[in-house]
Chains A and B, each alone.
Chain A
């Protein structure tokens, strides 16, 4: 998980911060700006930048099995980590590989996958993968290695099937706590024939319950609320953009994605190569995910956000900057 390519993590956005509001503003609070945090998050100190997470697909290391199949391997470590989830607000997260969400694991249909899991935290954890696998590899208490105790490790091994967009997350009780604290990530299995070349983005939607009242104070994509407001996500006009969208929100039953000035093809769970819908808004319940494909015909700034206004103004909104 490297920081190179980070888009100026700690740059000064003070021109957009709140202090410079003239008192007694003539527009009576309608300041012509979007809901936003006060100040900026230090992504460097967090050790990850949502702008890097966005295009960071972890393909692990590969080797050949005697039968000629590809063996793909990763190592995931669960730890506790304080993360600045909003400027000045520290969240005691539980994370895989030091980032929120965990790494986006990417494999190809039919490969053999081997995930070594080490528990470096003080609580028992597991990794439960969505997909097809033997019962012993399910990553739940009472199956296979069961709960992995602090300091212990295990290996999850199974075949990559079916192709699509899947998830992984900790499955130790209390479940809501182990998930909402950050132990989750996206898991992409590419179809054998591959997909059309595209600018690929991963967006894991989630909430942050910073005061432990089982309601989210902040909503975000890829760890930090409002992260794609400033700077925006830069995309090329006319180029195919593919978004791997997953919902790991706890406490709220659903989350959603809406893009301005555009429509996208939607592939639920990514398990079919035929889209089911051309739309500009899609809803996902907890654990649901899908693939979005779209091209931006016009240059300029286009918003994207949850089409639940509350989530939007609590952090789940961003901009695409479409460039020629």
Chain B
């Protein structure tokens, strides 16, 4: 009663929350209206930073999609290819901060040769972009999407399905051997997480820095780690299914997110002509990704999952490669790809945390000699099979 009396005559909580917000808005508005009193003009000349986000090559044409990364507006005045001024269209006006434009250059490029494109700005600055190996950008038609889907199935779905065939064997082996298999799985996943992070950083360097650059990889990792942790806690709360089944699904989701990023890398490499499709690549990926199948079925040693459930797990883990290949080939953006790689890495990190208890021996030690051997073996397998497929 006393508390209620005290409440009376005071401002309600929502108002106390709102007042500072309104004051902040008013202060910022006044500051902007007065044009930053006392601050004056910028120091130095305008900063021109442009990132080339996408390159499309068609016969006689080079098309660059550019984004203004810097704080100041940029105007593209002239274009050069391999030290010669060339006619172009597009990017006529000023490109504001974070704005994009498309520069359409008329140029008789040759298949397989290298080109340096330089955009000359109004201040005489140059934005250079290297085309390492010129190849016609594939038309994103139905046949192309079909090809990318086939590629995704070859490198994602089939290898994982093959890897899952180890399930009967895993069921038969004694617990101490199963722990080694789990350690091997964790080793495989750790390699994937490291690999994806590094690839993400590499892509982030190519993309527009205004969107955070390398931070995108870490943000992506944090986002997927937290999201999977939340989903895992929610599933545990509902006690739905055996813990083995839950783990298998989590691993499948983690690997699926990773394969999404891998698909983007494959698709974009194919689109820029940097990827030779062929039996070697597919066989390499098959061996590399088969190990991911083992990782999914390892926690299922004790349960009796239905065939449908196994197929679902395989699709969850493998099919995102198809989606990734579509995205990578048709709408590649280095910043988005960097984020996706981070997203995949975070998901895998979360799965590793979930899997760690399954390595424990009877004394509760996680890093017992057999587990360490399994971890190292897992990483070694991924390293060795990874040599077969560098995208």
> What residues make up the interface of A, taking CB atoms closer than 8 Å to B?
17-19, 21, 23-25, 27-31, 33, 35-39, 85-91, 208, 210-211, 213, 217, 225-226, 310, 313-315
Contact = CB atoms under 8 A, between A and B. Distances in A.
Given A29-B106, A86-B77, A314-B84, A217 B89 contact: no
A192 to B, nearest CB: 45
Contacts of A217: 80, 118, 120, 124, 126
Contact of B84 (A21, A28, A211, A313): A313
Contacts of A314: 80, 83-85
B87 interface: yes
B47 to A, nearest CB: 13
B108 A90 contact: no
A88 B60 contact: no
A28 to B, nearest CB: 3
A91 B118 CA distance: 17
A37 B84 CA distance: 10
B85 A35 contact: yes
A211 B123 CA distance: 8
Given A21-B106, A28-B108, A88-B122, A35 B86 contact: yes
B122 A21 contact: no
A310 B82 CA distance: 9
Nearest to B86: A35
A160 B108 CA distance: 52
A29 B61 contact: yes
A210 B80 contact: no
Nearest to A91: B124
Contacts of B60: 25, 27-30
B59 interface: yes
Contacts of A28: 59-60, 108
Contacts of B118: 217
Contact of B78 (A23, A24, A88, A310): A88
B383 interface: no
A211 B127 CA distance: 10
26 contacts: A18-B86, A18-B87, A18-B89, A21-B106, A24-B58, A25-B60, A25-B61, A27-B60, A28-B108, A31-B87, A37-B85, A38-B88, A39-B77, A86-B77, A86-B120, A88-B78, A89-B121, A210-B125, A211-B124, A211-B126, A217-B80, A217-B118, A217-B120, A225-B85, A226-B85, A314-B84
Q: Which of B58, B88, B124 has the most CB of A within 10 A?
A: B124
A17 B92 CA distance: 13
B135 to A, nearest CB: 15
A24 to B, nearest CB: 7
Contacts of A25: 60-61, 106
B123 A90 contact: yes
B111 to A, nearest CB: 11
Assign chain B's interface to a size class: 20 to 34
A88 B94 CA distance: 12
A180 to B, nearest CB: 12
A140 B126 CA distance: 34
A30 B110 CA distance: 12
Nearest to B90: A19
B64 to A, nearest CB: 15
Contacts of A310: 83-84
A18 B106 contact: yes
B122 A89 contact: yes
B268 to A, nearest CB: 24
B125 A36 contact: no
Interface string B71-83: 0000101111001
Interface in B155-214: none
A224 to B, nearest CB: 13
A29 B85 CA distance: 13
A226 B104 CA distance: 22
Contacts of A225: 85
B109 interface: yes
A30 B86 CA distance: 11
Nearest to B124: A210
A313 B89 contact: no
B120 A35 contact: no
B109 A89 contact: no
B87 A38 contact: yes
A266 to B, nearest CB: 28
B125 A211 contact: yes
Q: Which of A21, A27, A39 has the most CB of B within 10 A?
A: A21
Contacts of B145: none
A95 to B, nearest CB: 16
Nearest to A19: B89
A17 B87 CA distance: 7
A65 to B, nearest CB: 46
Interface string B115-145: 0001011111110000000000000000000
A315 B126 CA distance: 16
Given A86-B120, A314-B83, 10 more contacts: A17-B87, A21-B106, A24-B61, A31-B87, A38-B77, A87-B77, A89-B121, A90-B122, A208-B124, A314-B84
Nearest to B77: A88
Nearest to A85: B124
Contacts of A213: 126
A210 B123 CA distance: 7
A21 B87 contact: yes
Contacts of B89: 18-19, 21
A90 B85 contact: no
Interface string B312-324: 0000000000000
Contact of A33 (B87, B107, B125): B87
A151 to B, nearest CB: 25
Q: List the 9 closest A-B pairs by CB distance, nearest first.
A: A210-B124, A18-B87, A88-B77, A313-B84, A29-B60, A28-B60, A29-B108, A28-B59, A89-B77
A23 B59 CA distance: 10
A210 B121 CA distance: 9
B124 A313 contact: no
A38 to B, nearest CB: 6
Contacts of B79: 38
Contacts of B80: 217, 314
A38 B106 contact: no
Contacts of B88: 18, 38
Contacts of B86: 18, 35
